[in-house]
Amino acid sequence: MSMRGFWPAVPALLLLFFFFLFPVVRMLGFSLEGGSFDWYAKALGEGLYLRVFWNTFEIALLVTFFCLLLGYPLGFLMATTTPLWATVGFIFVLLPLWTSVLVRTYAWMVLLGRNGVFNRLLIDAGIVEDPLPLLHNFTGVMIGMVHVLLPYMVLPVYGAVRRLDPAIVAAAEGLGASSWRIFWRIYLPLTLNGIFAGAVIVFVLSLGFYITPALLGGGRVIMIAVLIEQQVRETLNWPFAAALSAVLLAFTFAVYALAQRFTRPQETA
Amino acid sequence: MDTRKLNRRQAVSLLGGAAAVGAAGPAFGQTEPPKPAQIVVNHSGGSMGTAMRKAFFNGFEKKYGIRVVETSPADFGKLRAMVESGNVEWDITEIGGQDAIRATKLGLVEKIDGKIVDRSGYPEKVRTDFVFASSVYTTIIGYRTDVFKNGTQPKSWADWWDTKKFPGARSMRNHPTDNLEFALIADGVPMDKIYPIDFDRAFKKLDQIKPAVTVWWSTGQQPAQLLLDKEVVLATGWNGRFYDIIKKGAPVAIEWNEGALKQGSFVIPKGAKNPYWANKMLAEMSVPQQQAVYATELGYPGLNLESLKYVDDKVKPFLPTQYIDKQFWIDDAWYAENGNKAIELWNAWMLKKA
């Protein structure tokens, strides 16, 4: 980076330093209270916290998977359809993004409950006899989280497909490649960046989820953010909260590094 | 009597205003610090904010010309962060019972000025130096009246645990407080022998009810909503939330027996910007007529015993103070000591496969 390019970035760097780096370092300092690793020993040594870390990662992975499953085709479609339909798609994707997570979570409670809209439709249509357990369990948490996070997958995929040079696709078509082959050999490898970006954003945001699992999971689905919040607000054990946060941060970086290594060859291809 | 008091207050406030405008010299009698444009009251939000505005804030604003800004929710962690960083935004804040005890021990709160806040109508034991007891609430059983007709609802925690005689989905709070106590009572412990809590015995009893509890609620509004949607037919919850939906005609009723009583509290954070006006606000909140307005609105009676005189007879059956004899008080002091341990055990228990 030349110095000329450096100076305009100074305000942003200062902002990052004071409002991101500095607090994170302070937090790490908290976690090492009295120069001991006791709180880390507790975070990593007690079955309870490891279980919750594991739960959190499992949920984040599944949410990422479902977001990809739903988000890729949608982003792809929006990037390749007519401008009018793309606009309609954008409205549907972005509108929920501007609505409060809490409102959306409550809306799901109305829709998914035992006497909710979905179950009543299913029962009236004679498809099921007893209401399906869609709420206050793992399923409810999945539905709610995927809904909240889907836009973060759709948008990078959309961007990646748009950036793709249509001439490559035209050339492949001209050479007689099947559409399946075009997808596998051209679209997929060349949009991997978008997939990767979307997946990382969704995964990382999932890790910190709090309200949605608490309300849609019936209290049984416990994610690490809930325990950290408890340590901050209820038990006032800030050193331990800091240690839990630091462990979460370290895991997140590890996953990120792993994912990046995994996708690098295609990235430069 | 009331008008006389008002006049005196107005006079004092006029004096204060005069002192603030011009005179730097000593005013006679009680001098009032200059009026801020606003004070900040932090509370748990929702319908509570609406009721507080109606009962206390509007009157305060009119009387003193100081705007009352409301923030929420009540947050012990934030209180500590504010006091320790010296950036105290709140003039008064609501606080949970056990947190009030811990906040006092940690030196996070200001002493209440007995010369400004008159608590002579309060029971002796709640007139503490640092904590203002604002109201009484209780965790009790709410039930669907279309499922449990003509008094066939569970009337004790032993009944609540009896899923054969009282079938149906239940909801309980996702927290050890209340539930540990209910489990012990269901297991035969008399209400006055609950503390210190025997964790093993309580969790063993909770194991039995776990499969019947479909929702462990985490916000106060949830149990009322769950009953309304018939997501569950029985729910433990705070009496005011049930009162609210019953008022609006929901097929829900309250079983008061063996409820867990708690005291709602407010404190002045240490280093609050306007301690004098914070005390004035607490004074407003201790006026019996205003407490009656609050109780009628929410179902949470104030602790000024005189306030009941101003409550309509139709509202009285919904106030927990009418049933104190068949309920028990949550022991905040015990939780201040053992709360963290209880939460840890609760989390572990919740993760355990049923």
Ordered alpha helix ranges (H), chain B: 2-21, 47-52, 58-64, 76-85, 97-105, 157-161, 176-186, 199-209, 222-228, 239-247, 275-285, 288-298, 332-351
Which residues 131-190 of B have a C-beta within 8 angstroms of A?
174
Task: Name residue, tokens 């000025």.
Answer: B113
Residue of A108, A211, A220 to mutate when probing chain B, most B C-beta within 10 A:
A220
Identify which of B75, B217, B229 has the shortest CB distance to residue A219: B217
Nearest to A113 among B78, B229, B343 (CB): B229
- CATH assignment, B2-136+263-310: 3.40.190.10
Quick check: B142 and B227 in contact, CB under 8 A? yes
- Biggest alpha carbon distance in chain B? 77
Yes or no, beta carbons of A48 and B347 under 8 Å apart? yes
Closest CA to B300 of B52, B38, B114, B24: B52
For A54-222, CATH number out of 1.10.3720.10, 2.60.40.290, 3.30.930.10, 1.20.1270.30 equals 1.10.3720.10
Task: Please report, for chain A, the start and end positions of each structural domain, with discontinuous segments joined by +.
Answer: 54-222
What is the secondary structure of A24-59 as a DSSP string? HHHHHHHHTGGG--HHHHHHHHSHHHHHHHHHHHHH
Interface contact A235-B217, CB threshold 8 A: no
Residue of A39, A48, A53, A130 to mutate, testing the B interface (most B Cβ within 10 Å of its Cβ): A48
Q: For residue B168, what pLDDT is reported?
A: 95
pLDDT exceeds 50 at position B272: yes
Task: State pLDDT tens for residues B55-105.
Answer: 999 999 999 999 999 999 899 999 999 999 999 999 999 998 889 999 999
* Mean pLDDT value across chain B: 90
Structural element, H or E, at residue B265: strand B252-269
Q: Are A230 and B229 a contacting pair at CB < 8 A? A: no
Q: Is CATH 3.30.70.1140 the classification given to domain B139-261+323-351? A: no
pLDDT of residue B20: 42
**Residue B17: band (very low, low, confident or very high) from pLDDT cuts 50, 70, 90:** very low
Listed by number, the residues of chain B in 199-218 with a beta carbon closer than 8 Å to a beta carbon of chain A are: 214-218
Could you tell me if B173 and B179 are in contact, meaning their C-beta atoms sit under 8 angstroms apart? yes
Q: In whole angstroms, what is the distance from residue B301 CA to residue B313 CA?
A: 13
The answer to whether the Cβ–Cβ distance between A236 and B350 falls below 8 Å is no
Determine the Cα–Cα distance for residues B294 and A208; give it in Å rounded to an integer. Answer: 38
Sign of the alpha-carbon torsion through B152, B157, B158, B160: positive
pLDDT per position as a tens digit, B185-243: 999 999 999 999 999 999 999 999 999 999 999 888 899 999 999 999 999 999 999 99
Q: Provide, as residue numbers in chain A, all residues whose Cβ is less than 8 Å from the Cβ of B214.
A: 136, 218
How many whole angstroms separate alpha carbon A68 and alpha carbon A74? Answer: 10
Instruction: Look up residue B124 and give its DSSP letter.
Output: G
Instruction: Write b or e for each residue in A42-75: b if 16 or more Cβ atoms lie within 10 A of its Cβ, otherwise e.
Output: bbeeeebbeebbebbbebbebbbebbbeebbebb
pLDDT along chain A (269 residues), means of 10: 75 91 91 88 90 94 96 94 92 87 89 91 90 92 94 94 90 89 90 90 91 89 92 90 94 84 55
The rounded distance, in Å, linking the Cα atoms of B61 and B42 is 16
Domain boundaries, chain B: 2-136+263-310, 139-261+323-351
Residue B18 has pLDDT above 50, yes or no: no
Please tell me if the domain spanning B2-136+263-310 has the same topology as the one spanning B139-261+323-351: yes
pTM summary value: 0.84
**What does the pLDDT look like over B302-312, one tens digit per residue?**
999 899 999 99
Give residue B95's pLDDT.
95
Given a cut of 70, is residue B346 above it in pLDDT? Answer: yes
Return the higher-pLDDT residue of B22 and B241: B241
The question of ipTM being above 0.90 is answered as no
| Residue among B339, B328, B335 at smallest CA distance from B185 | B328
Which amino acid makes up residue A217? G
Contact B101, B333 (CB under 8 A): yes
Rounded (5°) CA angle B190-B196-B199:
95
Which residue of chain B comes nearest to A42, CA vs CA? B344
Task: Summarize the confidence of residues B316-341 as an average pLDDT.
Answer: 93
